[in-house]
Amino acid sequence: MKIITTIKEMQQEVKQLKNNQLSIGYVPTMGYLHEGHAALIDEARKNNDKVVISIFVNPLQFGPNEDFDAYPRDIDRDERIAKEHGVDFIFYPSVEEMYPRGLSVSLSVTDRTEVLCGKSRPGHFDGVVTVLTKLFHIIQPDRAYFGLKDAQQVAVVDGLITDYHFPLELIPIPTVREEDGLAKSSRNVRLTSSEREEAPQIYKTLLHAQELIKAGERDTISLVERLKEKLANSITGTIDYLEILSYPELRKLELAEGKVIIAVAVFYQKVRLIDNIILEVPRP
């Protein structure tokens, strides 16, 4: 496994791989790797000649009151996990390497961001597509792997790849969970013991939504009201949002039909947790 810190060296390695007609599977991360990242890496390992991951905490996707400085970092741990799962290259650039000066061209997401996390985090997804555009050009992957825990990000990346004709395949991977159902996240370490104990109620609420829909409930307003009440009564955190939308378009629905996402975000003292399930709901 090789660790690369400069764009120039990464591009040189990619050029050599392309000359040898080797396929590249790519997993973008912000580090502090866990089983969720490992699942993405393992999938990339199965279907590509070489696997590249990037570790870069992107300042452009953090708002002024968000946790850029507090975001967990442990490169030694990341290196060990990456090596165990067969990563060939870690691209580990500094902020100065990725953004040596102000941007002369800016990217702005105009669809799929007015709901869910995008609604309360203006500019977040602009930062996501900016850094991914850079990384896609640098690494030139054949396939890029993203976890569906952040399903809105997957939807936005799908739009980026489609609109700008990136010659790569987007591979969404199902959410990896703890034994009690809590979605794996680098931020889970910042939950207090009592918060961690109740956090699985988030996923249980999503499963309850699935049961209600399977039982024939389709009215999204009624569903959301019932789900919010259930979740609020089982946690001490504050519900940021709970929405039922079409996927990947992320349009509001009156009736839960077709491919839908049920997504939720909860604020705790030091962390914000997100989760979702995606369902295919038969039309009448």
CA-based radius of gyration for the chain:
19
Query: Does the fold of domain 186-273 match that of domain 2-173?
Result: no
Residue 187: per-residue pLDDT: 83
Q: Are 199 and 173 in contact (CB under 8 A)?
A: no
User: Is 168 annotated for ligand binding?
Assistant: no
**How many Cβ atoms are within 10 Å of 225's Cβ, its own excluded?**
12
User: Is 98 annotated for ligand binding?
Assistant: no
Helix (H/G/I), strand (E/B), else coil: 68 = coil
User: Is 279 annotated for ligand binding?
Assistant: no
Instruction: For the chain, 284 residues long, give each residue's pLDDT as a single digit of tens.
Output: 999 999 999 999 999 999 999 999 999 999 989 888 999 999 999 999 999 999 999 999 987 767 777 787 889 999 999 999 999 999 999 999 999 998 999 999 999 999 998 888 888 999 999 999 999 999 999 999 999 999 999 999 999 999 999 999 999 999 999 999 999 887 898 999 999 999 999 999 999 999 999 999 999 999 999 999 999 999 999 999 999 999 999 999 999 999 999 999 999 999 999 999 999 999 87
Q: Are 152 and 33 in contact (CB under 8 A)?
A: no
Residue 221: per-residue pLDDT: 97
Residue 15: per-residue pLDDT: 98
Residue 68: per-residue pLDDT: 79
Residue 185: per-residue pLDDT: 86
Contacts of 167 (CB under 8 A, 6+ apart): none
Q: Are 48 and 140 in contact (CB under 8 A)?
A: no
Annotation marks residue 37 as catalytic: yes
Residue 156: per-residue pLDDT: 97
User: Is 186 annotated for ligand binding?
Assistant: yes
Tokens of 168: 């790569």
Q: What is the CATH number of domain 2-173?
A: 3.40.50.620
Hey, where are the domains in the chain?
2-173, 186-273
- Helices in the chain by DSSP H: which ranges? 7-19, 35-47, 75-84, 95-98, 116-120, 124-139, 151-163, 193-198, 201-214, 220-232
Q: Are 253 and 223 in contact (CB under 8 A)?
A: no
Residue 162: per-residue pLDDT: 96
User: Is 147 annotated for ligand binding?
Assistant: yes
- Residue (of 98, 95, 83) closest to 51 by Cα position: 83
User: Is 13 annotated for ligand binding?
Assistant: no
Residue 241: per-residue pLDDT: 95
Residue 220: per-residue pLDDT: 97
Instruction: Give the integer Cα–Cα distance in Å for 43 and 172.
Output: 10
User: Is 11 annotated for ligand binding?
Assistant: no
Residue 145: per-residue pLDDT: 98
Which one of 1.10.230.10, 3.20.20.70, 3.30.1300.10, 3.30.1490.20 gives the CATH number of domain 186-273? 3.30.1300.10
Tokens of 274: 């997100």
Annotated catalytic residue within 37, 85, 124, 137: 37
The pTM of this model reads: 0.90
User: Is 94 annotated for ligand binding?
Assistant: no
